[in-house]
Structure 1
């Protein structure tokens, strides 16, 4: 780079421009490449580089007094004769300091740069430095810090690469590609890292000394990120960092900083991190306990150990809080064990379900048992189905899952037996005199016809759809572009959703009650016969004979009518002259009747031909949609539950002195069961007669008798999950004590003379905010808020009543969804998010945040309560 400014600087140092005389200058930094002449205000100076005294004298003689600049090598400058020196300008050899060179070239005074390495680095990048300054606001002076910044910019293309990137990102880059910088560049980076990244910068500067140190930061830092105490051996190469006085990071701070950098680096490395994690796991196996390794949120081994620990806890009967699953899903290696985590999620739900009181503690009334099943038992059945599907996608934790399933079956069988005994004490009376319970033959009088007569009706019959299968269908409908859901019940009709099928729970009998409007007296028909012949003739005939419907126009569509597409059904829904349109969808019943017992039942709405289009058409043409099932079903578990031969899997007729089979109970249905004589019905889940198939029905199990009965509307709600479904977020075995399992004795028909068990003292009923509860008052929700929330008195005084109510709701149940909060507040769900965010800011401003916000897999927000002890530890 030719720099005439340096030559002009030499002329100024020699007294300024003149018309004659020569200037002697010492060759050095910055003068390696200069122009052959330089123009000044007085004259043009020629530039020469004499190597000997003789060459210099010849130049002086040839110039004849004309001005020139002679740049001398150091050995010639030191040995010049006095006469040559005396005739030169200012009678001396002039030398430029590096700071002078930098100041001249950059056009700005440079101060405080005595470090030779920095000076040399600056001289090597003079042109780039000048370009950088031209792009900035022109500084008045360049000090050491500004010069470092400029050098970082020119050495790395952009200094933002060091400034803006996180320490972890820098470590990830350097550990994968160790820097091969010149020593001056390396020292420049090490010197500036503490200024750019504070404590992390000091640690990175220390590690830049070698590639081994960089690797140790990642490998050892991952282990140090594990919560709790770790042995000194885990520090390994980083022990030198603890003792390095230049780094000067206090021991109580160092581990946290190292952990943060290492975790950031692992995240940046993505797939390339595997080799470092493997090395860390090897060290961890040598120096860390299994419990310590299972606390790692980075190591795949830590996740595997944690998963195994949770599986063992479930197998032992311990309730596992949902925070364990959240921890797993947030683990860096969660993608490697996605199927296993899904399995453990259902197992953890089982553990929390089993820790809740048995349904019989809700009271002996039939309605109480049905509601308990709708709110809890049905969700346990749904979780069991999901767990069995999850078992098909992984080879791990099968033994523990089987233990959980056995405990679940025992619990549900206790519920089923208690329910069966309730019906056995008086089936006909229970069916007709239990307030709020709707038997299928009364759905018209109690539900369907309680609406304006001129409002069209679409009755959807889901053949064989159990209550848990219905809940899954509603969840899927909520994900549609135009979401559908359940209409929340009014205060005076909340119990209208308690619906019961009829014994025996078979299609010919139960569906006949729906369309006839009364209990059929016809002989019972086997399922196989009914599917082949019965429904095509009997169902339409019964629908026409329905006396409750009077002269209302009606039309029924069966499986055969929908075989070639939903066109006729859609046209009927558009026809306003047809007051009632009914359609039977057989997708579920067809599956459970299959002998393919290796397949787990799963039905999605978009897999049921014509189902979604018909719902959309009904809503588009102003029809109300009422969904019902004729019966539910119990799934096949194993062949060990087969109790004998027979063409009816879940019920049988008994001889005069014949005892009911194992898992069956005798129920006197009087003349309401299709034929006279003694009958026994299966209450044990999965018990069957005859040949195995995917599912069975005909018995008295809750999963067969409790059927869905609900209105579908636009933007409706989902069936609210029980408190154990997503939470409590944190729980201990002491907080959720598991009840000891009771032996399942062979059921016998109870008599009226049997002594009733003494009722248990009533427990305080937690306030639920789901589909089936009436909306509680704000005052009722806020009861005992001071004790539950654990907030300071001044904070409590600043809360509005509705704010106290919502926080108390979260404290009681551990968590609540946005839709549940909306119902408590009486606000549209769309406004709850902003309201809760405002409440969170309000609590944060006073230093008392007590809930967190998460997003569920379905996109809905969930608010989780943070107990006081966790707030103190945070």
Structure 2
């Protein structure tokens, strides 16, 4: 029998336990072979003394005798000679054994030594039955020793300690995800360098601990394919995809080569790989510490998987994880984009878009998905009926704010396109953009026709049913005044309906509730002519049609609010910034703290961006992009002030590819208005609200016309985007009364039906007229065009589709159930059953989600704090804690399957 290999650490532990019984012995015989790399001389603590140890590896009687003789002749009476040998005791004889410790050759009990190194009295029997484990524990001991485990060293504790050292893992009991991350380190190289017996033992333990996944995983590591473990798992998942061609199945099967696997281990392997990638994606999506690294890991793995697929001829253009699958699904969306006069192609486009959104990396590529979403939205809009006659000006600007602005928002994103898209995708986006732009041009032309006759007579005393920009403060803002409250008026210079659509959504996420005087949606005012800052902003802030500079704006603002017996402060850009350590100026903070003072702030970010070219390739605006806007909103909320976010005019963007200027540039003081004779794409406007050109100007309705050098965008013209002035009104969210004359405006009612969700059976095609305003009798503007009732204009839709008949709805079935009756009787302050049914039906119709504002409105508690109201609803519907209704602070979500189960409604 071959003697076991021992090293200096094994001998040291043996001497510590054996020498104290006979401390004067200088010869120790040990059955074994001394490891070549072990130290030939070392010291060991024996009781209170330190003994020097010399080791000789001799496997003959003469060798043993000679080593002992030389040690005796050395003259060192304190050192110990250890001779490792395979010579039996009966061959050595008593001449040598008589000098040796215990007069015999000692056998190393590796299990006992291992136990001592762990500070244990004994080891679990299984540890003794695993020679590979004992060998590994003796050779892998860290410099500072093994951690103490207790009186008995168990098999599980021993292997976990070994794994922590061999795998380099902090977690001594790794799971599948930990091992997959470990596969991307140098750990696998160290693993395959271990003795085969130890590799086998660790693989068995991983199989027992981690499950079937470990079998295929360790086999791939042992054949040197650790770096491709994750990419291979992604590709092997193709086996589970429906309708995979036989050729692809064979190519995927060949990926594992000679690595033996069964279906159970393969399924576990794929599940672990995809689960790990999903976890990384969630981490990357959430931002924060390590998000960029997680994103890079995902990209590396999936790019490598795509490379392998290409090399092996594997078709994966619909794979739910691979970048090629994302590109394939994006191409499918593009293929479904066909501008049609009806909605026959819409279902295919929506289905393709759903597939794209479901792709796992879609969440990491929001800008690429957004371009496809916007293109499909434009396709849905193009499928709606188009009015052929112009509507009244008031109706047109309202429709533009509620619909046209969303169209323009989508057009901007689709114009920018999809940076990584192929030619086919780019061409498809271009076709949709151009078709939508042509339709918007027709709207602008029809609007210009009506605007021309309206402008001749329109004035504050005779607005023709329209809200004028110079009347916004009196008609919209003044009603918000109370004895202890005054509003904050934020003028976002140049904010178009498209920009307002984006900012309005984001403001709601900062703890605000939107309100309006018009149940149909947000209100829009009409800019003065030309729609430039000097005229329109001064008119807005002074409360009358006039031109002027900042001083005129400030004086007019103060005078207007003095007429309402209120003090007022108007601040421009240079007045807003605070001193060191303060974001807002002391003057602004003091004004906001005074509830009797109306505060106005002018923000120039959007208008400046048009001049300085910062919006040329942008596809949207965030609150943080508007300097000081988030700070002003937070300050206003802390003081409980209502906020009115209003523009003075809108703008059009530079989207042409030509460099020619339109019209007579010499007669153009501005980019979008001039004097002279109108040409193609232009109209002449005159009347009391035309504040330049001696009351007569030429302005383009065609957005591609400009009179000055190229910039990022322009204003001053007669297009809907320029003449529409968005007026958004907000109050701090919570249990506070809504100002008289206003009602809560759910987020759903601010968006057109074609923007979100699925088409309803009968999409509405008209918008109610603006609310009637109490005025003194005034001259009516002569208008020979058809009346409002004759003019159907596309409009924002109601928050959710109409519910089915009461006796058949899901909500009615819920409140009729015995479980609901019992719950309602036991829950305090529970909403009324009919209102609960209405909310359930609204959630079902809206695809399972509504904003908290819309949900509480359905419960008849508009304006109340959604968190408090929905908490009562959750106690009612979330039987035994199961999440039928979930509210995340912004959105209420219904789990329809859980609802059916908990209230016994049968199959969903």
**Residue 609 to residue 102, structure 1, CA distance change in 2 (3 Å):** closer
The gaps in structure 1 that reach 5 residues or longer are 12-16, 18-24, 40-48, 56-70, 82-91, 521-529, 740-749, 770-775, 854-859
Aligned twin of 1:439: 468
Q: Taking structure 1 as reference, are residues 338 and 161 closer, same or farther at Cα in structure 2, changes over 3 Å only?
A: same
Residue 645, structure 1, aligned to residue 664, structure 2: yes
Equivalent pairs counted in the alignment come to: 780
Alignment partners' CA distance in 1, 2:844 and 2:699? 43
Range that drifts further, 431-440 or 214-223: 431-440
Q: Is the 8 A contact 2:392 2:788 kept in 1?
A: no
Match of 1:86 in 2: none
Question: Of residues 631, 634, 638 in structure 1, which corresponds to 2:649?
Answer: 631
* 2:252 match: 234
Alignment of 1:786 with 2:818, yes or no, is no
Matches of 2:482 and 2:116 in 1, distance apart?
A: 97
Which residue of 212, 232, 239 maps to 1:220? 232
CA contact (8 A) 1:171 1:265 kept: no
User: 8 Å contact 2:233–2:269 — kept in the other structure?
Assistant: no
Structure 1 residues 135-182: Cα deviation after superposition (integer angstroms, max 9, x where no partner): 33434xx78667656765776688943445733234334676352112
Quote the Cα distance in structure 1 between the aligned partners of 2:492 and 2:427. 35
**SS of residue matched to 2:212:** helix
Q: Distance in 1 between matches of 2:109 and 2:625?
A: 85
Aligned counterpart, 2:867: 832
CA distance, structure 1, for counterparts of residue 463 and residue 858 of structure 2 = 29
Deviates more, 1:195-204 or 1:416-425: 416-425
Matched, 1:378 2:405: yes
In 1, the alpha carbon distance for the partners of 2:166 and 2:635 equals: 68
Asked if 1 retains the 8 angstrom alpha-carbon contact of 2:127 and 2:133, the reply is yes
Task: Give, in angstroms, the shift of residue 189 of structure 1.
Answer: 0.2
Query: Where do residues 13-412 of structure 1 align in structure 2 (5 Å cutoff)?
Result: 27=31, 51=61, 76=88, 107-108=121-122, 111=125, 117-118=131-132, 121=135, 124=138, 135-139=148-152, 160-163=171-174, 166-173=178-185, 177=189, 179=191, 180-212=193-225, 214-215=226-227, 217-226=229-238, 227-228=241-242, 229=244, 230-238=248-256, 240-241=258-259, 249=264, 255-256=270-271, 259-260=274-275, 277-286=302-311, 292-297=316-321, 299-311=322-334, 313-314=336-337, 319=349, 327=358, 330=361, 334=364, 340=368, 343-344=371-372, 346-347=374-375, 350-351=378-379, 353-354=381-382, 357=384, 360=387, 369-385=396-412, 399-412=427-440
The aligned residue for residue 813 of structure 1 is 846
Question: Judging changes above 3 Å, is the alpha-carbon distance between structure 1 residues 353 and 240 closer, same or farther for their aligned structure 2 residues?
Answer: farther
CA change 1:678–1:624 in 2 (3 A) is same
> Could you tell me how far 1:443 is from its partner in structure 2?
3.5
Deviations 1:699-748 (A, max 9, x none): 4432223213345655699994778799977769x999999xxxxxxxxx
* 1:500 and 2:526 aligned: yes
Asked if structure 1 preserves the Cα contact closer than 8 Å seen for 2:812 and 2:837, the reply is no
- Distance in 2 (alpha carbons) for counterparts of 1:626 and 1:100: 81
Q: CA offsets, 1:661-680, max 9 Å, x none?
A: 4445688x776657999988
Contact 2:676 2:697 survives alignment (8 Å): yes
**Secondary structure, in 3 states, of the residue corresponding to 1:187?**
helix
State the distance in 2 between where 1:679 and 1:156 align: 79
State the Cα distance separating 1:382 from its structure 2 match: 3.4
- Offset from partner CA, 1:632-653 (integer Å, 9 cap, x none): 3333332769663364666788
- Seen in structure 2, the aligned counterparts of structure 1 residues 474 and 144 have a Cα distance that, compared at 3 Å, is closer
> d(CA) in 1 for partners of 2:169 and 2:636?
63
- Bigger CA drift: 617-626 or 251-260? 617-626
User: How far is the alpha carbon of 1:193 from its aligned partner?
Assistant: 1.0
1:42 counterpart residue number: none
Alignment of 1:388-537 (within 5 A): 399-417=427-445, 419-420=447-448, 437-443=466-472, 445-450=474-479, 463-471=493-501, 488-489=515-516, 497-502=523-528, 505=531, 510=536, 514=540, 535=549
Q: Return the alpha-carbon distance in structure 2 between the equivalents of residues 785 and 160 of structure 1.
A: 52
- Counterpart residue number, 2:799: 767
SS at the partner of 1:282?
helix
* SS in structure 1 of the partner of residue 441 of structure 2: helix
- Give a deviation string over 1:501-548, Cα, whole Å, max 9, x none: 34554567655754675667xxxxxxxxx6xxx5479778978998x9
Are residues 837 and 241 of structure 1, via their aligned partners in 2, closer, same or farther at CA, if it must alter by over 3 Å?
farther
Q: What displacement does 1:352 show? A: 5.3
* The 10-residue stretch of structure 1 (321-330 or 230-239) with the greater mean CA deviation from structure 2: 321-330
Distance 1:726 1:237, change over 3 A: farther
Extract unaligned runs of 5+ from structure 2.
1-11, 23-28, 48-57, 66-82, 94-103, 284-292, 341-345, 579-583, 735-743, 766-781, 825-830, 902-906
Structure 2 Cα separation of the partners of residues 158 and 265 of structure 1? 19
Q: Distance in 2 between matches of 1:150 and 1:594?
A: 63
Q: Does the residue aligned with 1:293 lie in a helix, a strand or coil?
A: coil
For the 8 Å contact 1:593–1:695, the answer to whether it is kept is yes
Residue 197 of structure 1 deviates from its aligned partner by 0.3
Question: Equivalents in 2 of 1:589, 1:550: separation in Å?
Answer: 30
Q: TM-score of the superposition, structure 1-length normalised?
A: 0.64
Of stretches 424-433 and 466-475 in structure 1, the one that deviates more from structure 2 is 424-433
Give the stretch that moved more between structures: 427-436 or 643-652: 427-436
The 3 A distance-change label for structure 1 pair 350 and 818 is farther
- For the 8 Å contact 1:224–1:234, the answer to whether it is kept is yes
Q: What pairs with 1:591-610 in structure 2 (closer than 5 Å)?
A: 592=610
Distance verdict in 2 for CA 1:503–1:725, change over 3 Å: same
| Map of 1:59 onto structure 2 | none
Q: Residues 224, 654 of structure 1: CA spacing in aligned structure 2 closer, same or farther, 3 A cutoff?
A: same
Q: Deviations over 1:28-73 (max 9, x none)?
A: 799x99x99x99xxxxxxxxx9959x99xxxxxxxxxxxxxxx998
Greater mean deviation of Cα atoms: 700-709 or 196-205: 700-709
Tell me by how many angstroms 1:191 deviates.
1.7
Which shows bigger deviation, 793-802 or 706-715?
Answer: 793-802
Equivalent position SS for 2:649? coil
User: 8 Å contact 2:573–2:602 — kept in the other structure?
Assistant: no
Say if 1:339 and 1:393, in contact at 8 Å, map to a contact too: no
Q: List per-residue Cα deviations over 1:403-435 (Å, max 9, x = no partner).
A: 343233234334445545665786789987889
Return the alpha-carbon distance in structure 1 between the equivalents of residues 112 and 641 of structure 2.
Answer: 91
1: distance between equivalents of 2:627 and 2:250? Answer: 65
Q: TM-score, normalised by structure 2?
A: 0.62
Partner Cα separation in structure 2 for residue 703 and residue 211 of structure 1: 62
Task: Give CA deviations for 1:609-636 in whole Å, capped at 9, x if unaligned.
Answer: 9988988999999987655444333333
CA distance in 1, matches of 2:280, 2:595: 70
Deviations 1:426-447, CA, capped at 9 Å, x for gaps: 6789987889742234435533
Deviation, structure 1 residue 199: 1.2
Q: How far apart, in 2, do the equivalents of 1:93 and 1:553 lie?
A: 107
